[in-house]
């Protein structure tokens, strides 16, 4: 399965599953990233970390270690 970490700049994907447990999973859900949410990848930093995305009409910056816990299609 592909994760948000693997998505290229300019792509729109849909969240299929959230991995991780405890505080990390709760933090991702608190940011508005839940199953079925559309995510548009706006920018990727030159070294690949962090990733800037649009979620539910707002801009959000996510680190790679958080992005690898979000499975997308």
Q: Which pTM does this prediction carry?
A: 0.87
Nearest alpha-carbon partner for 67 in 10, 36, 39, 23: 39
| CATH 2.40.100.10 is held by the domain 2-72 | no
pLDDT tens-place string over residues 30-58: 999 999 999 999 999 988 789 999 999 99
Q: Which residues contact 8 (CB under 8 A, 6 or more apart)?
A: 41, 44
Domain boundary assignment for the chain: 2-72
pLDDT band for position 17 (50/70/90)? very high
């Amino acid at each position: 399965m592909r994760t948000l970490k693997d998505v290229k700049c300019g792509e729109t994907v849909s969240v299929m599953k959230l991995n991780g447990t405890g505080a990390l999973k709760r933090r991702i859900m608190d940011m508005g990233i839940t199953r079925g949410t559309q995510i548009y990848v706006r920018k990727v930093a030159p070294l690949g970390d962090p990733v800037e995305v649009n979620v539910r009409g707002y801009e959000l910056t996510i680190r790679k270690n958080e992005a690898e816990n979000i499975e997308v299609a």
